Each structure stands twice: as structure tokens, then as C-alpha cells.
């Protein structure tokens, strides 16, 4: 990985990478260069040889068409979690989501400085 934050809707200047040529010896192959594949590759690359395969353009599929919103505001999910695994389990889910958002922000700051912005989120009904 180059260590840069790529968001293809905002960054059209990111050139496509060449097709894979020849053989490569790696520990892990990740298929799909969306946000989940990129996050997995980044984490695994800390102590593994990782190859990320993407058929089209890194970050260009569903990831490129989303708002890039990372949130822990999942009201209906928490209600189900409390019923299924109790308040402590639901709290652990919320804390894991907040930790993931912090990780995304740290990675974005390290790669592009202003690629991630925290903002208030509001729930409303018509």
C-alpha cells in the first residue's frame, strides 16, 4: 500500500495501477479495494505480506458512491442488541464503532491531513 488516502469521487487524479504481472509470494490476498478491503489490507500489512486485488478502481465501487459517513448512531440496532446480548454487549458494540471511527480519522490524518472531518449527526423524522 502506498499509505495514501484515496477517495475516487473527490480525487480523480489518482492514476489506475497496472495489472498484476507475473507471480508474487504473499501471506494474504484480499479481493476488493473498497473501504473494508483497504482497512483489512492496511491492518494486515503491519506484519504480513499483503496483496490487494481490485477488478476496477480502488475505492471506486460502493465505497466511491457513498457519503463516507462513519457513525455509531444505530438506534434500531442498539435496541435489538440490548434484547439479544444485554446492555453491556450493546455498549461494547458502540465502543467498538467509536474506536473504528477514531482509527479511520487517524489513518486519514496520517495520509491526507484533512480527508476526515468530525461533524454532529442528527436523527429526525418527517
Dist CA 70 CA 54 (whole Å): 23
pLDDT band at residue 51, thresholds of 50, 70 and 90?
A: very high
Dist CA 44 CA 52 (whole Å): 11
pLDDT band at residue 6, thresholds of 50, 70 and 90?
A: very low
Dist CA 123 CA 60 (whole Å): 28
Question: Cell for 49?
Answer: 505480506
pLDDT above 70 (res 95): yes
Q: Flag whether the pTM goes above 0.75.
A: no
**Range in 33-37, 58-62, 91-95, 109-113 the model is least confident about:** 109-113
Q: Say whether 77 sits in a helix, a strand or coil.
A: helix
Rg (CA), the chain: 17
Amino acid at each position: 500500500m502506498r499509505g495514501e488516502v484515496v477517495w475516487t469521487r473527490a480525487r480523480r487524479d489518482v492514476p489506475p495501477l497496472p495489472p498484476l504481472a507475473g507471480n508474487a509470494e504473499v501471506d494474504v490476498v484480499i479481493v476488493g479495494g473498497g473501504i473494508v478491503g483497504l482497512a483489512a489490507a492496511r491492518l494486515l500489512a503491519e506484519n504480513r505480506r499483503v496483496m490487494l486485488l481490485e477488478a476496477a478502481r480502488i475505492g471506486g465501487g460502493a465505497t466511491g458512491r457513498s457519503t463516507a459517513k462513519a457513525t455509531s448512531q444505530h438506534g434500531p440496532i442498539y435496541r435489538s442488541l440490548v434484547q439479544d446480548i444485554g446492555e453491556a454487549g450493546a455498549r461494547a458494540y458502540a465502543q467498538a464503532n467509536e474506536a473504528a471511527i477514531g482509527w479511520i480519522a487517524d489513518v486519514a490524518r496520517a495520509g491526507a491531513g484533512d480527508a476526515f472531518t468530525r461533524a454532529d449527526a442528527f436523527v429526525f423524522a418527517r
